[in-house]
Amino acid sequence: MHTWLNINKNIKFIFLNACFAQGKNLARNKICKFELKPNYKIITDNLEHASKTFYKEIEGVKLAVVNFAENEFASAEQDKAGAHPMNVVQNSRKIMEAKKQADFVLVIIHGGHEHCHYPSPRMVEQYRFCADMGADAVICHHTHCIGGLEEYNGVPIAYSLGNLFCCSSRQPLTSKVGYAVRLTFQPASKKLEINVIPYLQCKGDEEVCLLRGSKLKEVSEMIYRIGREVSDGRYIIEWKKHVDKKYFYCLNDISASPKLFYRTLNRLKLLKFLPIFLSRNKMLIRKNLCSCETHRESLIEILHKYLSD
């Protein structure tokens, strides 16, 4: 379950990951009240419904919300319920259409690399492109840890808000800190103000507490520091460190080697020898299948057909 943002106290968005069951569990355990109101939609019937832009007029200002998610297991299809899938061309058209009809366009993106405070170069390019297409603010979530907040050509981009409520004991300590954002749009000046609201969640108790004092200052400074590193390009160093951490794990997955093999090498501290057991030719073929647009397109269709049979 992820984070909420508040716009002029009139509308709140709760970002949820497989949240329908999660919300019911929270309610069942008397942690919060769970109900679906007319303007709140947890999941949609199909792709057509999932891709609809949300419009709401607030005190004479028309707000548009374009919300989409990376293509994992929950993407909607023509005859399947799910989330509005990420597609740069289609998402951009939605943003441009919303810009023509609304005073303020908010783009919400579910995506990012788990437990990494920094975005990838692809994310930075794509999220900034949303701003180029007409977004007035881009708010992202999914990584289970906080990311930076940068301003790109006057458009705030929050790369990850972190968790709102996640009591899993398997989550690292970094997942316990998150932040909400408050967006204030001034229709007369067309200016947007953004404030971050850091908090601590599920550290010992099933509750969410606003940070105060030195901890509030520390987390706030971290959010803006990471944002500055994104703006000036220094984030690449941290992004590459994250890739290095995943190197052997991903190689093992791509090679289709048994998990037990990876765990055994890891336990014996012999992971550095993993590449010896892999075929470079087969890995080159797999890289080409992922990199080439035509091959990747065919591969996805073939896998979809295989898994549907």
pLDDT of residue 269: 95
Cβ(183)–Cβ(194) below 8 Å: yes
CA distance 281 to 109: 36
Give the closest residue to 220 by CA, choosing from 117, 148, 141. Answer: 148
pLDDT of residue 209: 86
Cβ(206)–Cβ(193) below 8 Å: no
Which neighbouring-strand residues pair with 81? none
Summarize pLDDT for 10-46 with one digit per residue, the tens: 445 544 444 443 443 433 333 344 344 445 444 567 8
pLDDT of residue 178: 93
pLDDT of residue 297: 95
How many beta carbons lie within 10 A of that of residue 213, not counting itself? 7
Contacts of 185 (CB under 8 A, 6+ apart): 7, 8, 61, 63, 103, 104, 136, 191, 192, 193
Tokens of 16: 């949820």
CA distance 35 to 194: 28
φ, ψ (nearest 5 deg) of residue 158: -95, 110
pLDDT of residue 20: 42
* Spans in the chain with pLDDT lower than 70: 1-44, 167-171, 204-205
pLDDT of residue 77: 86
Q: What is the largest CA-CA distance in the chain?
A: 65
Give the closest residue to 13 by CA, choosing from 91, 118, 107. Answer: 107
Q: Inter-axis angle of helices 121-133 and 235-255, to 10 degrees?
A: 110
Cβ(51)–Cβ(98) below 8 Å: no
Contacts of 112 (CB under 8 A, 6+ apart): 119, 123, 140, 141, 142, 143, 147, 159, 160
Q: Within its chain, how far is the Cα of 269 from the centroid?
A: 33
Residue 191: its H or E element: strand 191-201
What residue spans of the chain are helical by DSSP H? Answer: 19-28, 47-50, 88-101, 121-133, 213-232, 235-255, 259-267, 280-291, 293-308
Contacts of 272 (CB under 8 A, 6+ apart): 248
How many beta carbons lie within 10 A of that of residue 134, not counting itself? 20
Q: What is the pTM assigned to this prediction?
A: 0.85
pLDDT of residue 44: 65
Cβ(81)–Cβ(31) below 8 Å: no
